[in-house]
Amino acid sequence: MALWLYSGLAPFIARAAWGGVRRKLTAGGTDPARFRERLGHATAPRPEGRLLWFHAASVGESLSILRLIEHMGARDPDLSFLITSGTATSGAVLSKRLPPRTIHQFAPLDTRAALRRFLAHWHPDAGLFVESELWPHMIEEADAAGVPLGLVNARISDASARGWRRFAGSARHILGHFRLIHCQDIRTEQHLRTLGLDHARAGGNLKAASGPAPFDAAELDALHARLGARPVWVASSTHPGEEEIVLAAHRQLLVAHPDLLLILVPRHPDRAGAIMAAGTDMIPTWHRRSTDGAFEPSSQVYIADTMGETGLWYALAPIVFLGGSLTPVGGHNPYEPAHAGAVVLHGPLYANFAQAYAEIDAHGGGVEVRDAPEMADQIRHFLTDRQALDNAREKSRDFARAQTEILDDMATRITAALLEAPS
């Protein structure tokens, strides 16, 4: 019944959503000629030979598969790749990082007409959906067109699993189209097996193998020169309610370390102005990346409110607090700061990355803090004990390096299940 209602309403929902889709693409600086991709009209030719299609939601999911694509492309030089995603930001970021023989297109809206146009042009040899980006018509139409399908890096929270169980029949119908289901943790595997999907299998998180986030090496050198001997730490991907805790910790630290610089990277950069307005009552001297350029010798807090530079801040600072973990957001990806060699501080609310945080903490590269005093105490420890900081950073790197073996396993499973298996 749920899928029947969705199918009936989808064309009307898509027509109503089209204006918003255009506005978001325009605001994101997307070439208007590419808007038609959302209606299933291709703006690039299909490459010759076999084509493997990945469908992802936005930036994080799209970037998580790039190393896998590079790995599979190196193993099979006759294989080409197509990535579809829905946001302007993902398109802009991917345009600078696409591996060889890889094309990006904006995903068609979930209407049968748009999807049939898309599939008629691209004729993918197999399709892989990333994490939880599951559009019913897209899955059904691809399967009907004879495209073998897989789901990679699947993640289902406990709350989402309860929702899936309420519509268990619909869930089994949609997920039953996937020949391969790779889960990023045991919890997701158990949730899917409860729904009757016995071929779901945990196999590690693709984001773990994505490597360090990219950065401009010349800009990093310039910032190191500007920083000099000043100590620095980063609070990244913070959410409302967390900046107050971070700033309270920083204010405590400034007493003994008056030259300490905090680089604050809010999860949503458009909150930067409000964060600064509220934060100057606690700490007086701020500078802002988007308006002031680099930090100044007088900067106590530097708010990094630009897109695509997170890798720069992780490469600059040896200590990173990762937000979304002191408020009930579920945590954020700890692998990028770990790949950069930063010790990772985090709060206790990380349900979305429970296995990852348990492992990095046990490995010695991560530390849980519950409030501003604990955060300040832990950072103070690392600032005053260089050996402890160096050891924790090396353990963080070791934790990240150990994750890359997932690429071989995933490439082998995808090839066997989707590209070599009879259709």
- Contact between residue 284 and residue 300 where contact means Cβ atoms under 8 Å apart: yes
Cβ neighbour number for residue 333 with a 10 Å cutoff:
21
How many angstroms separate the CA atoms of 190 and 214, rounded? 34
- Catalytic site residue from 37, 48, 61, 394: 61
Task: Using DSSP, state whether 216 is helix, strand or coil.
Answer: coil
Residue 64's closest CA among 420, 418, 410? 410
3-state DSSP call for residue 47? coil
Helix H or strand E segment including 422: none
Q: Reduced to 3 states, what is the DSSP secondary structure of residue 351?
A: helix
Measure the CA angle with vertex 375, ends 370 and 381; round to 5°: 135
Contacts of 354 (CB under 8 A, 6+ apart): 185, 187, 331
Rounded Cα gap, residues 222 and 53, in angstroms = 39
The string over 145-173, giving b where at least 16 C-beta atoms fall within 10 Å of a residue's C-beta and e elsewhere, is bebbbbbbbbbbbeeebeebeeeeebbee
Instruction: Quickly list DSSP for 98-143.
Output: PPTTEEEEEPPPS-HHHHHHHHHHH--SEEEEETT---HHHHHHHH
Asked about 61 being catalytic, the answer comes back as yes
Cross-strand pairs, 367: 345
Query: Bridge partners of 232?
Result: 261
Residue of 190, 191, 79, 81 lying closest to 128 (CA atoms): 81
In angstroms, the CA 180 to CA 114 distance is 25
Active site residues per annotation: 61
